Structure 1
């Protein structure tokens, strides 16, 4: 006489260790992501398998369905899985793999004592339960993921604020917080300071920033910390949004507060036609303001960066331009053709990023040359 469903349930749950290990073994063999779990995580998987099997058998024998409490339990499981970083697709696949293995196990051990209808009903109960529990897992996972993302965004924003305001005791403290947040940033990075920016402006310039790109807004000033910025891609975005910025490259954590203050001063005082300022502008401004940390040699080297040894003719052309005023007069002073002068000025623009035809750029170049002498 065939065993009743309740007898089968009691036989399975009475010694479920064998079945649990069987299902766990199938999951581990078919899903590589589960092979890297530690002992504690594997014990959690065993617990979930045991609960699933027992609950499905209960529903099968009583003809009932999952309750809201069951769904809430798995919503919590989904939230936990999101926080430990296990991909949702992998989790859902594990339930599908377990379902197939479970039905195969029941068929092998009780196939001769259960009717076709018993087996069909058991499969239907598992699939119905799996469908509802998958929804609950997904809801819990997504809710936790959103919370984690929001929390992380806030943590990154606080990190940027603390960095530029000098709230880190030392460079190591900043590096430690980066590690805690899973952010990889070189010791020398780029800080972009946007004048009178809103969060929407930061989002707009993000495509021009290398990943990772952390940002914050402090008193209407936008700050982005990234490995590097694509100035060419940044320019049209700034033009569209009517925002100016200062791009500071090769910055370390300990010196960021100084550069941030200089960048803000630059953006407030430099003419609006200079859309993107840089370290050279900031260094020259520090000299003019008589700041104690200003360095004439550093200002000259930074503003004139790109004009290297062997290109003294470009510097001579600049010096003549400061005294003369136009290409023809410069050519006469140097004894060259005016077209040669124009070519050299284009080279200066390409190498330094400063166009001597623009008043502010010419002013910065002249200050840098005076500082170098």
Structure 2
């Protein structure tokens, strides 16, 4: 016996909604079917709007789209007459009306889903802003929604040099490996921010790997120290962003800079007046040097970075070792401090770091 096919739905015979669905979800759809079966009329704009509203409501209630469509198709079927050997053919308008009605249901369902995604993304952005600024209103409760347990220790890494499509792809890759409950990735203030549990140090390395693979040249990653609690996340984030700033001001060449490696610099800057006095006292005589002070500063930086190895410093600067030696002698004559003396070398290096941090010379 062949399966039943859509048959005529007389206006006085109501189609039924499957029991597992709320009856109101297909109200607009049923009216369309009855009108098409009874009068041959195709649905108008108002009727299709009602179907879209039904679809949106179904999505909000969490009804699977497949179940909704199955119910809509089932509502177009009626048992064939007992005396008929062959099911009756549907009226000409029924199938086009069914198609338009189901299409409107699906369109409404998708609209609701897109709206929910936009709302979730906005909620996520607000949460990230509150989290990284330390605004504590219901923070722990909201954090659990994103899989974060704020009583634990977390570490924050930030990447600069965003690629347009990089953030979404990096987040997908990280959550695929470590789970969405362990990783929070967001964009804030032009930085890609990654918050991970301190118990997952490999996640920071994986984050850096994806940044290296997907960001254009010029990218850099800053890494904060593991810190505990909501305030700890704020601190780690500020450390990571501060590490990027320090790396720029100091002219560091590293692609990845860790706050733990730069702890001396906030200490140096804590007493700005004392640092300015040191820079002025030690380096001011170089301002009158022939050729300017900058080549002498760059030479000192290169020598300090090479741990006193003048040959390596020369390669870094692209000049001869003899030129490096000559410049260091000039520094000694002008300032009275020699890079070869351990105590004087420390004073010189601190003054050079202070000069870079404070954008010396000042107007």
Check whether TM > 0.5.
yes
- What do residues 277-314 of structure 1 show as CA deviations (whole Å, max 9, x unaligned)? 335236454444449xxxxxxxxxxxxxxxxxxxxxxx
* 1:243 paired residue number: 219
Q: 3-state SS of the aligned residue for 1:65?
A: coil
- Which structure 1 residue ranges, 5 or more long, are not aligned? 14-18, 29-41, 292-321, 327-362, 364-373
**In 2, are the aligned partners of 1:238 and 1:275 still within 8 Å (CA)?**
no
**In 2, are the aligned partners of 1:198 and 1:221 still within 8 Å (CA)?**
no
Q: 3-state SS of the aligned residue for 1:273?
A: coil
**In 2, are the aligned partners of 1:192 and 1:223 still within 8 Å (CA)?**
yes
In the superposition, relative to structure 1, how do residues 184 and 70 fare at CA in structure 2: closer, same or farther (>3 Å)? same
In the superposition, relative to structure 1, how do residues 205 and 272 fare at CA in structure 2: closer, same or farther (>3 Å)? farther
Work out the number of aligned pairs and report it: 252
| 1:103 partnered with 2:103 | no
| Bigger helix fraction | 1
In the superposition, relative to structure 1, how do residues 284 and 94 fare at CA in structure 2: closer, same or farther (>3 Å)? farther
| 1:93 partnered with 2:87 | no
* 2:282 paired residue number: none
Shift of 1:275: 1.4
In the superposition, relative to structure 1, how do residues 24 and 141 fare at CA in structure 2: closer, same or farther (>3 Å)? closer
TM-score normalised by the chain length of structure 1:
0.55
| 1:144 partnered with 2:112 | yes
* 2:133 paired residue number: 165
What pairs with 1:357-368 in structure 2 (closer than 5 Å)? none
TM-score normalised by the chain length of structure 2:
0.57
Matched residues in 1 for 2:129 and 2:262: separation?
Answer: 20
**In 1, are the aligned partners of 2:55 and 2:107 still within 8 Å (CA)?**
yes
- Which structure 2 residue ranges, 5 or more long, are not aligned? 1-7, 198-202, 272-304, 310-348, 350-363
What pairs with 1:309-348 in structure 2 (closer than 5 Å)? none
* 1:63 paired residue number: 40
Matched residues in 2 for 1:74 and 1:282: separation?
Answer: 61
* 1:213 paired residue number: 184
Matched residues in 1 for 2:36 and 2:27: separation?
Answer: 14
Matched residues in 2 for 1:203 and 1:51: separation?
Answer: 38
| 1:233 partnered with 2:203 | no
- What do residues 198-221 of structure 1 show as CA deviations (whole Å, max 9, x unaligned)? 765534643553335331222x33
Matched residues in 2 for 1:87 and 1:174: separation?
Answer: 32
Matched residues in 2 for 1:9 and 1:254: separation?
Answer: 66
* 1:224 paired residue number: 194
| 1:79 partnered with 2:56 | yes
Matched residues in 1 for 2:226 and 2:136: separation?
Answer: 19
Matched residues in 2 for 1:120 and 1:133: separation?
Answer: 20
What pairs with 1:281-300 in structure 2 (closer than 5 Å)? 281=261, 283-290=263-270
Matched residues in 1 for 2:27 and 2:129: separation?
Answer: 48
| 1:127 partnered with 2:95 | yes
Matched residues in 2 for 1:191 and 1:197: separation?
Answer: 17
**In 1, are the aligned partners of 2:158 and 2:241 still within 8 Å (CA)?**
yes
* 1:280 paired residue number: 260
* 1:193 paired residue number: 158
Query: How much is the aligned-residue C-alpha RMSD, in angstroms?
Result: 3.7
* 1:315 paired residue number: none
Shift of 1:134: 1.7
Matched residues in 2 for 1:183 and 1:61: separation?
Answer: 52
**In 2, are the aligned partners of 1:197 and 1:217 still within 8 Å (CA)?**
no
